[in-house]
Structure 1
Amino acid sequence: MTEAGQEPARLPVLLEAVLSVGSELELHATLQHIVDSAAELCAARYGALGVVDPERVRLTELFTAGMTEEQRAAVPRLPDGRTGLLGALISDPSPLLLDDLAKDPRSAGFPPGHPPMRSFLGVPIRVHTEVFGNLYLTEKAGGGPFTEEDLALVRVLAAQAGMAIGNARLYETARRRERWIEGAAAVTTTLLAGRPASDALMCVADRARLLADAAAGVVLQPTPEGGMEIVAASTHGDPGDLVGTAIAPGSPVLEQLLGGEAVFIEDSATDPRMTTHVRERFGPSMMLPLRSGGQLIGTLALPRARGGPPYDAVDRLLASQFASQAALALVLADAQHDREQLAVYEDRDRIARDLHDLVVQRLFATEMMLESTRKRSASAPAGDTVGEELSRAVDELDSTIQEVRTAIFALQQPPTDTPTTFRGRVLRETGGAAVLLGFQPSVHFAGAVDALLTEPVARDLLSALRGTLAAAHRRAEVTSIEVEVDAAPSRVRLTVWDDGRTESGTRGTTVTWESEL
C-alpha cells in the first residue's frame, strides 16, 4: 500500500489524538498527553515537547516520550534550547524535517548518555499568536525518515494542541490566582486578629513561601544605617542563619528595593547584585516591596532552590499583588494595635483618675477624722487602748494611701515602654523582682523624687535597690517586702524591709542606703 493509501488509515488515529489532547485541563498532564499522542501518531520512537520562555529565549521545561527513567537519569542535563537544532527552532519557529539531524550544520551533537537519534521532525506550537513551545519527534519506526504526511499530521495536532494548551493555561492561571487570593485573605484575617508584630511578619513570609513554591520566604526591613535586614524567615526546615542577615547600604539591589521597585533575579548565587552570604544556596528569586500608601514597610523575598524553575510572568504578577495586599494588612493591623493600645491607655488613665478623685480623697478624709478622734481620746483614763488602736488605724490608712498613689502612678505609665522617670524605674525593678519572689513588693515614695534626684544618684540608688532585693530573695520564708524612697532637698534615703528569716533565726531585716543630693 502506498503512503497516500496509508494516510486515510491514520485519520482515525489523528482524530483520537485531537480529541484526547483537549480532554485535560491540568497543564502538565495536557503537555505530556500531546507528546505521547504525537509519538504514537507518527510511529516515532522518541518525542519531546519543549516549553519556550519568550523572555529568556530558552526552554524552561521538557516533556519526553519514549525515554525511560534510566535513560533520562543518564543524561547529565537536558537541553535548554540555546544552541543546536532546538535553539534553531526557537529562533526560527518554522516546521523542520530532517533525514539525519547529525548532518545539519546547526546540530550541536548530543550530551554524554543521550540515546542516538537520526531522523527528526520539529513543529512549533502556537497559542494564539504566541509560540508556546516546540514539538520534536525522532527515530521513525523502521529506520526510515519522517514524511511530508507525518509533518502534515503533526501540524494539525500542534494546532489543536495550541487550543488545548490555551484552555489549560487559562484554567491553571485561574486556579493559581484563586490560591493567591485565598492566601492574601487568610493573611489579612490572621493579621487583624491582633497577633504581635513579629508573628505578623512571620505569617506573611510563611504563607507567601507556600503559595510561590519557594525554598524560603523572608521579610526584610530597613535598618537605621540605611541597609535592610531579614527579620522573619520561613523555610522547609530550620531557617538557620537567615534571620539577622543584612544587605549593606549602597548595594545595587538595595537601591531598587528602597525605591519601592520589585527585583526579579534569575540566579541568586551568580547575580552580582546579591551580596549576602546566604545567596549561594538559592536560585531564582523575587524581591517585592511591602508598600502601602507611600510607606515602605519592608521587602518580601521568595527565593527558590538552586536549579529551581524560574518565576514566570503570572508568578510575578500574583506575588506582587499578594505583597501589596499583605502590606495593606500590616498597616491596618498596626493601626488596629495602636487603637487598642490607646484604648488601654485611656482606660488606665480613667482608673487612675477614679482612684485619685474618689478612693484617695475618701481615704484621706477618713484619716483626718480618725486623727481628730485620736487627739480627743488623748485625755482618756489611763489604760484605755483606744488611742493606740486609732494610731494604728491612722498608720494603716496612711500606708494604704501611699500604696494607692503608687498604683495610680504605675497605671499612668505606658505598659510596654521603657520608663523614663525615676518612680517608673523603681517600679520596674520591683516588678521584675516580683517574678522571682512570687509577690509584689510594697513601694512608698516621699518627697519630689523625680525632681530632686540627679541621674548619677538615681543610678546608684537603683543599683542598691537591685542588690537589696536580690539579698532578700535569698533569705528563707520571705513573704513581704516594703520599699521606701524618701527624698529631701539635701539627701535621699532608700529603706528596704523584709520579713525573711536571717541566719540567726530572727525574722525581719532592714537595709538603709542614703546619699547626698
Structure 2
Amino acid sequence: MEHLFPRMQLDELLKELQSRLEAVLTARDGIHALLEAVVSIGRDLEIETVLRRIVEAAISLVDCRYGALGVIGDDGQLAQFIPVGLTEEEITRITEWPHGRGLLGLLIADPHTLRLENIRDAEESYGFPDGHPPMHSFLGVPIRVRDEVFGNLYLTEKNGGRQFDEQDELIITALATAAGVAIENARLYEETRRREEWLDASGKIARELLFGTPTADALRSFVARARHMVGGAVAVVAVPDAAGTTLEVEAADGDDLTGLRVPVADSLTGSVFTSGEPVVVNALQGAGQPSPLLDQLPGGPAVLIPLGAERVRGVVVVVKTPGTSPFTPGVIRMLQQFADQAALALELADTRRRAEQFGLEDDRARIARDLHDVVIQRLFANAMTLISVVRLVDQPDVARRVEQTVDDLDVTIRQIRSTVFALQTGTGANGDGLRSRIIEISQKSVAQLGYAPGVRFDGLVDTDVPPEVAEDAVAVVQEALANVVRHAHAKKVEVVVSAVGGELNLVVADDGVGIGEGSRRSGLANLTERARRWGGRCDVRAADEGGTVVEWVVGL
C-alpha cells in the first residue's frame, strides 16, 4: 500500500500535466487560428467584405453555427445587419429584420461582453420573429473603432450542444479588437475612394455643363454617376414644373421612369423639395407618408436628396435593392455634396447661357443699327443718284434699265428693313406684335419645311394693324404655311406682309406643285371668310413660274 500511494500520486500528476499540455496546445492552436483570422479580415479593404469576414472568422474560432454583425446607426438602432450561417430560404422566411430591440438593444445600450446559456432566459429577450430558426447559447461582443462603438458581434448555437466558455469570450474579444482596426482601415479606404469618385464625377458634370452640354444630358450623366457611387439599383432626379406644383422625373438610370409626375403637396418627394432637407427611408419600416415615386422603385433602402443648397432645383432619389443595407451617414453626406456641386454647375451653366444670350442680343442690335444707319442710307443715296441720272439719259432703253435698277434697290431696301425689324424682334422688342408673331410662325415651320421661309415686311405693320385684324392675319399666315407643308412640296416659300395705303396685304408664295383640281378647299374657304369679315378678299392663284400664290387683303 505504501508503494501504491506514491504511484497513484504520480499518475495524477502526469494526468494533470497532460491536461495542462493539452490546454497549452489548444491555446496555441487558438492563438494561431486567431492570428490567421486577423490576417484574413485585414486582407481586404472593401468594407462589406471585411464585415462579412469578421463574422465568418468568429464562427470558425469558437465553432458555432450562427453569427452576425450589427452596425449601429446614428439613431441608436441597427443600421446594418450582416448574418452568416443562415441560408437564403431561412432569411426569406424571417418576417422582420432586426432593428436593435431586446437582447440586441441591450448590447447597444450597454456595450459590454455578454455570454448566456439560453437566450430566452434573459429578461431583455424580445423573442424571435416568425420564421426565425431556434437559437439558445449566445455570445455578444462590442466592436470599437477609435473608442467609438461601431457595432456588435453576435454568436449563437455552439456546435455539439456546448456552451460558450471564458476561452471563447477571450478569443472573440481579441478578434473584435483587431476587427476595429480592420474596419477603420476599410472605412478610410472607402471614404478616400468615394471622395476621388465624387471629385472626378463633380469635375465631369461641371465640364459637361460649362461646355454647352444640354441640361437633360448632363442630368442623365449625373444620376448615372450618383447610382454608381453609392451602389444603388435606381437613381432619378425630379425637377419642378413652371408652376412649382408638380415634380417630373427629368432623368433616370437603372429604370426608365422619365416623365413620371409627382405632386409637390402631400408627398415625401415634395417635402424634400420644399424643406431642402434629405430624407433616408428604410424600406422595411416604410416611408411614413405617401410616396408615389418610391412606389415605382425597388423596395430597398432609399435616400432623397435636394438638388441644391440655397436654391433647390429638384430632388435626387437613389434606391437600393431589397435586403441590402441602408445608406450610411458618410454616403449620404457624400451624395449631398455631389448634388450641391451639380446644382452649382447648373447655376453656372444657366448664367453662362444668359450671358451668351445677352451677347447675341447685343450683336443683333449692333447689326440692325449698322444695316439701318449705313447700308440702307447708302442704298437710298445711290437710288436717288440714279433717279437724277435718268433725267439726263436720252436713250429710252438705258433709262428703263436705270429705272429697273432703282426699283430693285427699293426692293432691296425693303428686304433689309425687314431684316432689321427681325433682328430687333429677336433682341426683345415687342413680342406680341404682328411682326414678331409672323416671324415666330415662320421659324416654327422650318422643322417641317426643311428650310427657312423668306419673310419681308413693308410699312408700320405693328402700329397700323388693329389687334383684331392682326389675329386673323396671324391665322392666315399659319394656315397658308401649313398648306405648303402638307401639299406643295415646295423648295422655296416667300411671305410678304405690307401695311401701306390703308390696307393690309399678305402674300404667301411657293414654287411647289400648285393646287390640284381635287384638292380640299376647306382651309382656303376659312381664309376667304376671315377676309370678308373685314371687307376684304382672298385670292389663290397659280404663280407665273409654277407654284401657288395666296393673297389676303383687308382694309385698314
TM-score, normalized by length of structure 2? 0.80
The Cα of 1:102 is off from its aligned counterpart by 4.3
1:286, 1:75 → 2: CA distance?
A: 27
2:123, 2:191 → 1: CA distance?
A: 40
Whether 1:492 and 2:504 are equivalent positions in the alignment is: yes
1:477, 1:388 → 2: CA distance?
A: 37
Structure 1 window deviating more from structure 2 (345-354 vs 216-225): it is: 216-225
Deviations 1:467-489 (A, max 9, x none): 23344556657454443322247
Give the aligned residue type for 1:495.
V
Whether 1:446 and 2:485 are equivalent positions in the alignment is: no
Deviations 1:359-418 (A, max 9, x none): 3223222222332333333x43xxx42233223222222222222222222223338999
Whether 1:465 and 2:483 are equivalent positions in the alignment is: no
In structure 2, the CA distance between the partners of 1:349 and 1:226, relative to structure 1 (3 Å rule), is closer
**In the alignment, which residue of structure 2 is the partner of 1:298?**
314
1:260, 1:228 → 2: CA distance?
A: 16
1:307, 1:487 → 2: CA distance?
A: 73
2:249, 2:82 → 1: CA distance?
A: 38
The Cα of 1:190 is off from its aligned counterpart by 1.2
Structure 1 window deviating more from structure 2 (448-457 vs 269-278): it is: 269-278
**In the alignment, which residue of structure 1 is the partner of 2:387?**
371
Matches for 1:363-442 after TM superposition, within 5 Å: 363-377=379-393, 379-380=394-395, 384-414=396-426, 419-442=431-454
In structure 2, the CA distance between the partners of 1:488 and 1:162, relative to structure 1 (3 Å rule), is same
1:514, 1:414 → 2: CA distance?
A: 27
Equivalent residue in structure 1 for 2:551, among 498, 505, 512: 512
The Cα of 1:81 is off from its aligned counterpart by 4.5
Matches for 1:36-115 after TM superposition, within 5 Å: 36-58=56-78, 60-64=80-84, 66-67=85-86, 69=87, 72-73=90-91, 75-76=93-94, 79-110=97-128, 114-115=132-133
* Preserved contact between residue 453 and residue 494 of structure 2 (Cα < 8 Å): yes
Q: Where does structure 1 lack aligned partners over 5 or more consecutive residues?
A: none
RMSD: 3.3
Deviations 1:306-355 (A, max 9, x none): 55532221022112211221221111111111122222222222322332
Whether 1:186 and 2:204 are equivalent positions in the alignment is: yes
Partner SS, residue 140 of structure 2:
strand
Deviations 1:90-146 (A, max 9, x none): 333222222333444544555566554433222121112222222223333443222
Whether 1:210 and 2:249 are equivalent positions in the alignment is: no
Matches for 1:10-409 after TM superposition, within 5 Å: 10-58=30-78, 60-64=80-84, 66-67=85-86, 69=87, 72-73=90-91, 75-76=93-94, 79-110=97-128, 114-223=132-241, 225=243, 227-239=245-257, 242=260, 244-248=261-265, 254=270, 257-267=273-283, 270-276=286-292, 278-279=294-295, 281=297, 283-291=300-308, 294-304=310-320, 308-377=324-393, 379-380=394-395, 384-409=396-421
1:183, 1:237 → 2: CA distance?
A: 21
2:215, 2:167 → 1: CA distance?
A: 66
Deviations 1:6-37 (A, max 9, x none): 33442222233333333332222222222222
Q: Where does structure 2 lack aligned partners over 5 or more consecutive residues?
A: 1-18, 518-540
Give the aligned residue type for 1:189.
R
Partner SS, residue 425 of structure 2:
coil
2:470, 2:215 → 1: CA distance?
A: 33
In structure 2, the CA distance between the partners of 1:415 and 1:234, relative to structure 1 (3 Å rule), is farther
Give the aligned residue type for 1:468.
A
In structure 2, the CA distance between the partners of 1:305 and 1:513, relative to structure 1 (3 Å rule), is same
Q: Tell me the matched-pair count.
A: 508
2:305, 2:327 → 1: CA distance?
A: 13
* Preserved contact between residue 268 and residue 279 of structure 1 (Cα < 8 Å): no
**Percent identical across equivalent pairs?**
38
Structure 1 window deviating more from structure 2 (90-99 vs 197-206): it is: 197-206
1:216, 1:199 → 2: CA distance?
A: 17
In structure 2, the CA distance between the partners of 1:390 and 1:435, relative to structure 1 (3 Å rule), is farther
In structure 2, the CA distance between the partners of 1:463 and 1:187, relative to structure 1 (3 Å rule), is same
* Preserved contact between residue 352 and residue 411 of structure 1 (Cα < 8 Å): yes
Structure 1 window deviating more from structure 2 (181-190 vs 209-218): it is: 209-218
* Preserved contact between residue 262 and residue 289 of structure 1 (Cα < 8 Å): yes
* Preserved contact between residue 362 and residue 427 of structure 2 (Cα < 8 Å): no
* Preserved contact between residue 81 and residue 90 of structure 1 (Cα < 8 Å): no
1:148, 1:470 → 2: CA distance?
A: 91
Structure 1 window deviating more from structure 2 (215-224 vs 128-137): it is: 215-224
Deviations 1:409-456 (A, max 9, x none): 222333899943221222223334454445544433222111111221
Partner SS, residue 426 of structure 2:
coil
2:295, 2:481 → 1: CA distance?
A: 50
Partner SS, residue 412 of structure 1:
helix
In structure 2, the CA distance between the partners of 1:235 and 1:418, relative to structure 1 (3 Å rule), is farther
TM-score, normalized by length of structure 1? 0.86
1:11, 1:306 → 2: CA distance?
A: 39
2:489, 2:282 → 1: CA distance?
A: 67
* Preserved contact between residue 249 and residue 258 of structure 2 (Cα < 8 Å): no
The Cα of 1:179 is off from its aligned counterpart by 1.6
In structure 2, the CA distance between the partners of 1:466 and 1:113, relative to structure 1 (3 Å rule), is closer
The Cα of 1:304 is off from its aligned counterpart by 4.1
In structure 2, the CA distance between the partners of 1:95 and 1:475, relative to structure 1 (3 Å rule), is closer
Deviations 1:156-196 (A, max 9, x none): 11112112212221221222222222221221111111123
Give the aligned residue type for 1:451.
T
The Cα of 1:227 is off from its aligned counterpart by 3.3
* Preserved contact between residue 263 and residue 270 of structure 2 (Cα < 8 Å): no
Deviations 1:279-310 (A, max 9, x none): 46455433333346x44433333344555532
* Preserved contact between residue 504 and residue 553 of structure 2 (Cα < 8 Å): yes
Structure 1 window deviating more from structure 2 (20-29 vs 258-267): it is: 258-267
In structure 2, the CA distance between the partners of 1:303 and 1:498, relative to structure 1 (3 Å rule), is same
The Cα of 1:209 is off from its aligned counterpart by 3.0
In our comparison, the structure showing a higher alpha carbon Rg is: 2
Partner SS, residue 112 of structure 2:
coil
